[in-house]
Amino acid sequence: MKLGLSGGGNYSSLRFQDSSITEHDSEVGYLFGIATNIQLKNELSLQIELNYERKVVSVFSPEFEINGVKINSFRNYDLYDFMTLPVLLRYEVGEKSPFYINGGVFLGYLLSARERVNDGDLSEDLSEYFTDFDLGLSIGVGKIFLLDNSNELFVELRNNLGLTNIDSDPNGQYQKTNSLSFILGWNLVL
């Protein structure tokens, strides 16, 4: 059994139906959390994590007009804070400093959704426009670096592909998450 701490960055995006008025861009966020790894067979283990994730998406609205009133272009940064619970099967290859591949599911709980306009002066709570839960598939590859018999470091590249619509309006456009994460961590081998 292993207990671990991890942190890193993510590059998040939303997949949604086209919008003619805005353009969405992926931005860099962060994550950190705790994990346990339970050995099932020689090369196979169960990885369970609890992570805090900040996902960031920028939204650009070009100049437009409403009832004869000109609205200047602006850029918003939408900040989504999630607690995520990935449950993954991990397959390791190699004895000393093994490589691994893992895959499974994740469940995300939305803690908050906020929007910052341009330079961050204005902020708006967007939580009411989103559902509380996100569910999806997770796949990753990584490498373990053994320090001694009870300590190891790891580095992982992981993709979390949201499968559920997080838009709270059932008649609105669908919105699904996607995050590519670069994770660094430390495990205590028990």
Q: Is residue 89 part of a domain?
A: yes
- pLDDT band at 38, cuts 50/70/90? very high
Give yes or no for a contact between 8 and 52, defined as CB atoms under 8 angstroms apart. Answer: no
Percent of the chain that is helix, strand, coil (3-state, to 5):
0, 75, 25
- Stretch 54-77: mean pLDDT, rounded? 79
CATH number assigned to the domain comprising residue 159:
2.40.160.20
- Stretch 104-123: mean pLDDT, rounded? 84
Alpha helical stretches, state H, the chain: none
What pLDDT digit, counting tens, does each position of 97-112 carry?
Answer: 799 999 999 999 999 9
Q: Is residue 75 part of a domain?
A: no
CA distance 173 to 91: 38
- Stretch 29-44: mean pLDDT, rounded? 96
| 25 vs 21, more confident | 25
CA distance 190 to 147: 14
The SS3 call for residue 96 is coil
- Stretch 31-55: mean pLDDT, rounded? 97
- pLDDT band at 54, cuts 50/70/90? very high
Question: Which residue range forms the structural domain that includes residue 91?
Answer: 2-15+26-54+83-113+126-189
